[in-house]
Amino acid sequence: MAWKENKNLKVILYISAWVIIWGSVGSLIDYPLYKAEIYSEGSIWQYLTFTITGIISFLIGFKIYKKLKL
pLDDT tens digits, 16-61: 999 999 999 999 999 999 999 999 999 999 999 999 999 999 999 9
Is 62 within the bounds of a domain? yes
Residue 1: inside a domain: no
Q: Is position 19 within any domain?
A: yes
**Is 23 within the bounds of a domain?**
yes
Torsion angle of alpha carbons 65, 70, 10, 28, nearest 10°?
-10
What's the CA gap between 27 and 18, in Å, rounded? 14
Can you give the residue range of the structural domain that contains 36?
9-68
At 13, the amino acid letter reads L
Q: How many domains does the chain have?
A: 1
- 21 belongs to a structural domain: yes
Alpha-helical (H) ranges within the chain are 2-35, 44-68
44 domain-assigned: yes
What is the arithmetic mean of pLDDT over 4-21? 90
Model's pTM, two decimal places?
0.79
Task: Report how far Cα 18 is from the mean position of its chain's Cα atoms.
Answer: 5
